[in-house]
Amino acid sequence: MYNDMVTLQTMDTIFYEAQRQGRISFYLTTSGEEAINIASAAAIKNDDFVVPQYREPGVLLWRGFSMQEFANQCFGNKADYGKGRQMPIHYGSNKHNYFTVSSTIATQLPHAVGAAYALKMDRKDACAVTYFGDGGTSEGDFHAALNFSAVTEAPVIFICRNNGWAISTPISDQFRSDGAVVKGRAYGVRSIRVDGNDALAIYSAVHAAREMAIGEGRPILIEALTYRVGHHTTSDDSTKYRPVDEIEWWRTTQDPVTRFRKWIESNGWWNGDIESELRSSVRKQILHALQEAEKAEKPPISDLFTDVYDVSPSNLREQEHSLRETIKKHPQDYPSNVPI
């Protein structure tokens, strides 16, 4: 678990800087929420469907998504599973049972209920796990999804990453209820509040939740209290709406990675040497993946038209033909790294 938390942290740092250098167009960090990402992933099994919002690449990391695969998606190159169609950080992998990220807030919550419903109908020993932030609890889909999951007795684990901020909106402007945990109770869903920066607490809560969800066929809501240390995305500068010392306090004294490290060190399983070794090797790996992904070719122009339907209908074939004609007429305006 600690390995992955460090990897996640390092990946975030390097990819964020890559965006600042202009190498990738967009990025979104998970700083301060590494424990939620990794520990919750560790407590569930590979058969469980993960329906993420967008701040949970750690779950994919735990399931075996490689640095190269992450970088490929961010660069939108030929090897990207999404075929270059989505923004960076909108990972998705059906072989890892991780639904593709969709930018819209809270729309994934009913999807998770649907996925859990499917698992229940198929009588699988698996559940659906979905993540969302404090801001997501204001959306209509959140309320209906919780309500539905309770009524249909669907095995879903709702994990709310209450990190205090929805871009620039603090939770005091988001809701006046006592967090998200009371909302779960209101819908008849068993809920619990956990310290989101304590990896062990998250692990044991999610583990217990999974047993309850599958064994008793019911939804569970876990509210993990944490802090969004980074900016909302690379398009944001959070110092504009919150004090710098608040960010610093959470980043230094409340860092979940440091906290977990102190615990494993105190148990004698870790020390400073292994730490520096890990960090430097991870860093090398990530930089290498970044370079490889940058060099790789982009997906071909035909991928603009495939997968809209299972088979391309006539209007799309026509449009592709017309595009290719235009490219032939104006080859100098066409980018060189996108194969025809």
Enzyme catalytic residues: 228, 232, 241
Q: Which listed range, 99-107, 162-170, 275-283, 284-292, lies at the site for other proteins (CB under 8 A)? A: 99-107
By beta-carbon proximity to other proteins, the closer residue of 111 and 279 is: 111
Tell whether residue 83 is a contact of other proteins (CB under 8 A): yes
Q: Among 7, 10, 19, 93, which residue sits at the site for other proteins (rule: CB under 8 A)?
A: 93
Q: Among 100, 204, 254, 285, which residue sits at the site for other proteins (rule: CB under 8 A)?
A: 100
Tell whether residue 132 is a contact of other proteins (CB under 8 A): no
Question: By CB under 8 A, what part of segment 296-325 binds other proteins?
Answer: 306-310, 313-315
Strand ranges across the sheet with 156-162:
49-51, 128-133, 156-162, 220-225, 190-195
Tell whether residue 63 is a contact of other proteins (CB under 8 A): no
Tell whether residue 80 is a contact of other proteins (CB under 8 A): yes
Q: Per-residue DSSP letters for 3-44?
A: HHHHHHHHHHHHHHHHHHTTSSS-----TT-HHHHHHHHHHS
Tell whether residue 340 is a contact of other proteins (CB under 8 A): no
Least Å from the CB of residue 147 to other proteins: 6
- Helix ranges (DSSP H) in the chain: 2-20, 34-43, 57-62, 67-75, 108-121, 140-152, 171-174, 181-186, 199-216, 244-253, 256-266, 272-295, 314-329
β-pair partners for 193: 223
Q: Among 21, 121, 176, 267, which residue sits at the site for other proteins (rule: CB under 8 A)?
A: 121
Tell whether residue 274 is a contact of other proteins (CB under 8 A): no
Least Å from the CB of residue 14 to other proteins: 24
Q: Among 16, 27, 49, 70, which residue sits at the site for other proteins (rule: CB under 8 A)?
A: 49
Least Å from the CB of residue 96 to other proteins: 10
Tell whether residue 206 is a contact of other proteins (CB under 8 A): no
Tell whether residue 152 is a contact of other proteins (CB under 8 A): yes
Which contacts of 288-295 are long-range, i.e. CB under 8 A and separated by 24 or more positions? 288/67, 289/66, 289/67, 289/68, 289/70, 289/71, 290/14, 290/15, 290/18, 290/23, 290/71, 292/68, 292/71, 293/68, 293/71, 293/72, 293/74, 293/75, 293/77, 293/79, 294/23, 294/71, 294/75
Q: Could you identify the residue written with the tokens 């992998």?
A: 93
Q: Among 57, 58, 82, 230, which residue sits at the site for other proteins (rule: CB under 8 A)?
A: 82
Tell whether residue 145 is a contact of other proteins (CB under 8 A): yes
Q: Which listed range, 5-13, 58-66, 106-114, 324-332, lies at the site for other proteins (CB under 8 A)? A: 106-114
Least Å from the CB of residue 145 to other proteins: 6
Tell whether residue 70 is a contact of other proteins (CB under 8 A): no
Least Å from the CB of residue 256 to other proteins: 29
Least Å from the CB of residue 155 to other proteins: 12
Closest CA to 40 of 55, 25, 29, 28: 55
Cβ atoms of residues 164 and 228 within 8 Å: yes
For 83, the token pair is 């075929």
CA–CA distance, 66 with 93 (Å, rounded to integer): 12
CA–CA distance, 175 with 256 (Å, rounded to integer): 26
CA–CA distance, 211 with 85 (Å, rounded to integer): 37
Tell whether residue 81 is a contact of other proteins (CB under 8 A): yes
Least Å from the CB of residue 92 to other proteins: 5
CA–CA distance, 147 with 151 (Å, rounded to integer): 6
| Sites of contact with other proteins (CB under 8 A) | 49, 51, 80-83, 85-86, 90, 92-94, 99-100, 102, 104, 107-115, 117-122, 128, 140-141, 143-145, 147-148, 151-152, 306-310, 313-315
